Structure 1
Amino acid sequence: MNGKRLVQGFLVFLAAFAALLIYTQFFAYYERRDGVESLMIAGTPVAVSGYRGISSSSSPLKPRACFALDPEAVAGLAPATDATPLTAPFWFRCFDAHQLTEDIVAGAATAYALTRDEPKGFDEMVAVYPDGRAYLWRQLNETFRDQ
């Protein structure tokens, strides 16, 4: 009987630990950032609408956002050739990094660097579709990227 209770106790501990691990990986450190009305693009505030975003103080790589803007606001910027959208948590459904990557490669969306090396080692990127849909993320630059 003692072995059976030990195994049951271990399974309960394992389930609780797994639930806590999943919570900390996918939910605990994210904060919703909704209702942003403008972004700084090339030093100019640009009006955005429908902003839905997430961020975290635990990592500079956490920001992701989906919104709409006037595509003319980024028309004067040089396209970024090193854009690599990073996946978002499964529950942040408006940001699909795989589709975004395919669209950037195919030319259906154009990526621009909003900031370079702010904070150090990170670039803030935005991908804009011709219809005004836009997606924001932060990625590692050459300072910290594996070579």
Structure 2
Amino acid sequence: MGKFLALLLLACAAGGGALMYYQQVYAYYDEVEPNGETDVQITSMITDAPELVLYDDFRAIDATSSPIRYRACFNTSMSHAMLTETYVLDDGAVPLTAPGWFDCFDAREIGAAIEVGEALAFTGTENIEYGIDRVVAIHEDGRGWVWDQLNRCGEIVFDGNRAPDDCPEPPEGY
């Protein structure tokens, strides 16, 4: 009887672990259909508003289980010289990992390219949702990536602290 219970316990643990893995990596993600209007936007230096940039080969995923699960990949013909003269750079960009099956988005590769200057990170849309900014990075070879990350105000408020005076007022419930 003891062997049976031990095997049952191991089987339950393995099944629970497999279910948790599936939910984290596959279950909540959905592919995002490109709309041609807001897929790849970068904040303009002149208007201080997000503007659509030229892109093709767009792929994206998102999940409702977390506001920072958005990831996208694309290609663009826009040069680094043109981009840096037109759009706002983002010094605090840190790419967040994506599920392994979304193979066009490798956070380590993107981060390393940003670190050595082969890719530039730009402010996409500030506060796309309270405390979360959309970031766009573009490699010198034209590959581009988009992800959502917490901004300074979001980090403070989501840690349970009051929003600093220079941050927008958080919505009800934060």
Normalising to structure 2: TM-score of the pair? Answer: 0.76
2-structure distance, mates of 1:31, 1:41: 23
Partner of 2:41: 40
Partner of 1:92: 102
- CA contact 1:51–1:68 (8 Å) conserved in 2: yes
Partner of 1:65: 72
Sequence identity, in percent? 35
Distance 1:36 1:50, change over 3 A: farther
1:74 aligns with 2:83: yes
1:54 aligns with 2:61: yes
2-structure distance, mates of 1:9, 1:35: 46
- Runs of 5+ consecutive residues of structure 2 not aligned to the other structure: 44-49, 160-174
- CA contact 2:42–2:122 (8 Å) conserved in 1: no
Matched letter for residue 136 of structure 1: V
2-structure distance, mates of 1:121, 1:33: 22
Cα deviation 1:9-34 (Å, max 9, x = unaligned): 11111111111111111111111125
Q: Aligned Cα RMSD in Å?
A: 2.0
Alignment of structure 1 residues 1-147 onto 2, 5 Å: 2-35=1-34, 37-38=36-37, 39-42=40-43, 43-72=50-79, 74-75=83-84, 76-145=86-155
The offset of 1:40, in angstroms, is 3.3
- CA contact 1:71–1:129 (8 Å) conserved in 2: no
The offset of 1:139, in angstroms, is 0.5
2-structure distance, mates of 1:20, 1:36: 33
Distance 1:35 1:123, change over 3 A: closer
- Runs of 5+ consecutive residues of structure 1 not aligned to the other structure: none
* Length, aligned pairs only: 146
Normalising to structure 1: TM-score of the pair? Answer: 0.89
